[in-house]
Structure formats: structure tokens, C-alpha cells
């Protein structure tokens, strides 16, 4: 698939290649023409930064009409670059309140020399895709330090993941005191080796570059290589179906923070499974309902640190909580 050209800041007199840089991005984003109302256009609903090349993104149509993807483009701003470094044109049509899944397209291992290999994507993940990405370099060769921008008709920005123009180190983190960037102080890497799922009450993309990228503001953080949610997204924009059930479900983990190493996990709906992961992605505890469902469960013997608690409700919906054990 060929690449289209991008909006220019100046023309190269030799080939008139057009570039889309951070100055233009900020100018475009502040224009009244690109301010999006809620539930009106495509946005990123899931971000998968897995092991190897197991990487992809899911896009959600929050409207009651099908969206033709002609003119929609996904850009990667790699390693703090002030301009898009690679991009892919989305192709297809997204059903009302439906999703479109883009997955890395590498289907075989590539020998990079010196004993290094670029691995093929897990076929099980690619099987969930509606579209496979371009060959390298392409947006789904992202690492945790790359910003992602979704644009429409070249100049309209629909969504921003990360902070374009900022190199956060290994990844954006939970370190609020240091602007959520990695300074090597042990903060949790949230945009690397994790699946991130947009929160239910997010109804539009980010169209203004953030001062800092706080992952937890709009994203639930799941363990690396979690793909079971691809192809469906629960959002408050959808007035019918499963979302009516989801909005009524309430889950809680308390106390948070905890000084005892224990937390109580409860929900107002039957719980099928509870999993607890360390910030590194390692599985710490797992509890299945032995008699069909749980109404509550106490997790104990947790050492000091940051954890992610995933509560799976009967029917498959997963609710994620971040907890701190002091």
C-alpha cells in the first residue's frame, strides 16, 4: 500500500514533498474548524503494544451512521520527532457503533543480522484484524515512546495518543511529578508492554496536544498481549445493547491505597474472574469463581508497589483498577 503525502510547512523545490510538523499540528488543532463534538467521529479505542511485533490499534465509530474510511490516516510521530515519521491510510467502512482493527502486517521472521530477528506477529492477533498495516516503517511498529495521531482529510485531527514532539524515555509513565515521562526512577511504563483500552465515558478523541500525557485519565491499563477485547468497544455513545448493561455495573477495590497488603474486591454484578498484575505485567494473583460467580473477594499478601486489578464480570466485560500498596 502506498503512502500519501502530508500537509506542508514549506515546499521542497526538488520534489514538492509535503511535511506535517509540530508547528502545523498545533496550529491545526487550535483552529475552530477541527474542534469535534462528542460522539461525532472516529477515535482510538484500544492500543496494543505487545511483545515483539504484536502491536495494533482499534478505532471506534461512536455514531449511528457507517463511516467510510476514505481520507482517514494514522500517523506515528516516532521517538519525540516533531513531524510524522510514517503513516498508513485506513481503508474500509466502520459500522455504526462498530470498530476497525489495524494490526502489524509482518507475517514472517526477518533476519536483521548480527543474531537479531524481527519476529512475525502472532497469527492469532492478525486473525482479529480488519486491516494489516504497511511494511516497515509503519505506525504499528510503534514502541512505548511513540506518539500516534489520527487525522481526517489531511488537516483535521481526530485523536492524539501520547504527546507529539516529546520523547518520554522508554514510555509514558505514572510519574505525575515528572510530567509522566520516564526518568529512570522506577515509575511504571504504561505505554510499553501493555494493552490500553479507552474508558467507557470517553466519547471523542483528544484534539488538543496535551501539556503532559496522563495515561490513566482516559485509558484502562491491561496486561501485555491482551487481545480478547479487539473488535468490540463499550462506549457511552451507544444508547442500546451491551453498553446499557455496562453503565449500570459498578466495581470497586478498597482501600486504595492500602497499608496492610490486602484489598477487598467487589461488584454489583456476578464476578467470573479476578486477576492482579504487577506494574511490570507479571501475573501476581488469579481467582476464578468456583461456583459460577463471586460477589466479592479479598486479595492478600501483596507487597508494596503498583498493581492493576482486572475484574471480569459474567458476560465477558472487564473492568480495570489501579491500586497502590504502601
Say if residue 174 is in the same domain as residue 304.
no
Q: What is the pLDDT of residues 92-108, one digit of tens each?
A: 999 999 999 999 999 99
Q: Which of 208, 315, 301 is nearest to 260 (CA)?
A: 301
Say if 17 falls within a structural domain.
Answer: no
Say if residue 266 is in the same domain as residue 284.
yes
- Show the domain range for 262: 249-325
Say if residue 266 is in the same domain as residue 172.
no
d(CA 293, CA 315): 11
Higher local confidence (pLDDT), 281 or 283: 283
Say if 211 falls within a structural domain.
Answer: yes
User: What CATH number is given to the structural domain containing 301?
Assistant: 2.60.40.1930
CA distances from 83 to 24, 44, 166, 267 (A): 9, 20, 11, 45
Say if residue 111 is in the same domain as residue 59.
yes
Q: Which are the contacts of 96, defined by CB distance < 8 A and separation ≥ 6?
A: 61, 63, 64, 65, 66
Q: What is the pLDDT of residues 135-153, one digit of tens each?
A: 999 999 999 999 999 999 9
Sign of CA dihedral 89, 91, 97, 99: negative
d(CA 287, CA 309): 11
Domain end position, chosen among 241, 274, 308 = 241
What pLDDT is recorded for position 135? 95
Q: What is the pLDDT of residues 56-85, one digit of tens each?
A: 999 999 999 999 999 999 999 999 999 999
d(CA 252, CA 275): 14
Instruction: Find out whether 46 and 139 touch, Cβ atoms under 8 Å.
Output: no
Say if residue 315 is in the same domain as residue 222.
no
pLDDT band at 109 (very low <50, low <70, confident <90, very high): very high
pLDDT band at 316 (very low <50, low <70, confident <90, very high): low
What pLDDT is recorded for position 28? 46
Helix or strand holding residue 125 (H, E): helix 123-126
What pLDDT is recorded for position 206? 97
Say if residue 232 is in the same domain as residue 302.
no
Say if 16 falls within a structural domain.
Answer: no
d(CA 13, CA 117): 39
d(CA 227, CA 55): 10
Instruction: Find out whether 171 and 189 touch, Cβ atoms under 8 Å.
Output: yes
pLDDT band at 323 (very low <50, low <70, confident <90, very high): confident
Say if residue 310 is in the same domain as residue 214.
no
pLDDT surpasses 80 at 307: yes
What pLDDT is recorded for position 108? 94
What pLDDT is recorded for position 21? 54
pLDDT surpasses 50 at 6: no
What pLDDT is recorded for position 170? 97
pLDDT surpasses 80 at 246: no
Which residue do the cell numbers 483498577 mark?
321
Say if residue 114 is in the same domain as residue 260.
no
Instruction: Find out whether 317 and 246 touch, Cβ atoms under 8 Å.
Output: yes
Say if 15 falls within a structural domain.
Answer: no
Own/partner pairs, 182-191, CB within 8 angstroms, 24+ separation: 188/279, 188/280, 188/306, 189/144, 189/279, 190/144, 190/215, 190/216, 190/219, 190/221, 191/47, 191/49, 191/144, 191/145, 191/162, 191/215
Say if 10 falls within a structural domain.
Answer: no
Q: Which are the contacts of 182, defined by CB distance < 8 A and separation ≥ 6?
A: 168, 169, 170, 171, 172, 173, 175, 189
Cβ atoms < 10 Å from Cβ of 177: 8
Say if residue 88 is in the same domain as residue 152.
yes
Q: Which are the contacts of 108, defined by CB distance < 8 A and separation ≥ 6?
A: 120
Domain end position, chosen among 202, 219, 241 = 241
- Strand bridging mode 156-161 / 251-254: unpaired
Average pLDDT (189-218) is: 95
pLDDT surpasses 90 at 15: no
Sign of CA dihedral 175, 147, 312, 240: positive
Say if residue 132 is in the same domain as residue 201.
yes
Say if 3 falls within a structural domain.
Answer: no
d(CA 75, CA 85): 7
d(CA 149, CA 159): 6
Mean pLDDT is highest, among 144-148, 293-297, 302-306, for 144-148
Which residue do the cell numbers 471506534 mark?
60
Percent over 90 (pLDDT), the chain: 59
Cell numbers linked to 215: 495515561
Say if residue 180 is in the same domain as residue 150.
yes
Say if 166 falls within a structural domain.
Answer: yes
User: What CATH number is given to the structural domain containing 204?
Assistant: 2.60.40.1260
Say if residue 224 is in the same domain as residue 92.
yes
Mean pLDDT is highest, among 37-51, 224-238, 278-292, for 37-51
Average pLDDT (182-199) is: 95
Say if 30 falls within a structural domain.
Answer: yes
Up-side HSE of residue 191: CA atoms within 13 Å toward CB? 29
Average pLDDT, the chain: 84
Higher local confidence (pLDDT), 191 or 292: 191
pLDDT surpasses 60 at 197: yes
Q: Cα-atom radius of gyration of the chain, to the nearest Å?
A: 20
What pLDDT is recorded for position 281? 63
Q: How many domains does the chain have?
A: 2
Does pTM surpass 0.95?
A: no
Domain end position, chosen among 220, 241, 262 = 241
Amino acid at each position: 500500500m502506498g503512502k500519501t503525502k502530508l500537509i506542508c510547512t514549506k515546499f521542497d523545490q526538488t520534489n514538492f514533498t509535503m511535511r506535517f510538523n509540530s508547528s502545523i499540528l498545533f496550529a491545526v488543532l487550535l483552529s475552530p474548524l477541527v474542534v469535534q463534538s462528542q460522539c461525532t467521529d472516529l477515535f482510538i479505542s484500544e492500543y496494543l503494544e505487545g511483545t515483539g511485533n504484536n502491536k495494533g490499534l482499534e478505532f471506534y465509530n461512536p455514531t449511528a451512521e457507517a463511516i467510510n474510511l476514505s481520507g482517514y490516516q494514522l500517523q506515528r510521530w516516532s521517538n519525540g520527532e516533531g513531524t510524522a515519521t510514517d503513516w498508513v491510510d485506513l481503508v474500509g467502512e466502520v459500522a455504526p457503533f462498530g470498530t476497525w482493527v489495524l494490526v502489524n502486517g509482518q507475517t514472517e521472521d526477518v533476519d536483521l543480522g548480527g543474531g537479531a530477528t524481527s519476529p512475525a506477529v502472532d497469527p492469532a492477533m492478525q486473525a482479529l484484524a480488519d486491516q494489516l498495516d504497511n511494511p516497515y516503517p509503519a505506525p504499528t511498529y510503534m514502541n512505548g515512546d511513540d506518539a500516534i495521531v489520527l487525522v481526517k482529510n489531511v488537516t483535521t485531527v481526530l485523536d492524539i495518543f501520547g504527546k507529539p514532539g516529546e520523547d518520554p524515555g522508554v514510555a509514558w509513565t505514572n510519574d505525575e511529578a515528572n510530567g509522566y515521562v520516564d526518568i529512570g526512577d522506577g515509575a511504571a511504563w504504561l505505554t510499553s508492554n501493555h494493552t490500553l483500552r479507552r474508558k467507557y465515558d470517553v466519547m471523542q478523541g483528544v484534539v488538543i496536544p496535551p501539556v503532559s500525557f496522563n495515561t490513566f485519565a482516559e485509558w484502562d491499563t491491561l496486561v501485555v498481549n491482551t487481545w480478547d477485547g479487539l473488535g468490540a468497544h463499550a462506549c457511552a455513545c451507544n444508547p442500546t445493547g451491551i453498553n446499557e448493561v455496562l453503565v449500570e455495573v459498578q466495581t470497586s477495590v478498597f482501600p486504595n491505597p492500602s497499608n496492610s497488603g490486602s484489598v477487598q474486591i467487589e461488584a454489583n454484578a456476578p464476578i467470573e474472574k479476578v486477576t492482579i498484575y504487577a506494574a511490570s505485567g507479571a501475573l501476581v494473583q488469579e481467582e476464578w469463581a468456583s461456583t459460577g460467580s463471586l460477589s466479592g473477594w479479598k486479595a492478600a499478601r501483596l507487597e508494596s508497589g503498583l498493581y492493576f486489578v482486572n475484574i471480569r464480570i459474567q458476560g465477558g466485560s472487564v473492568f480495570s483498577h489501579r491500586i497502590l500498596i504502601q
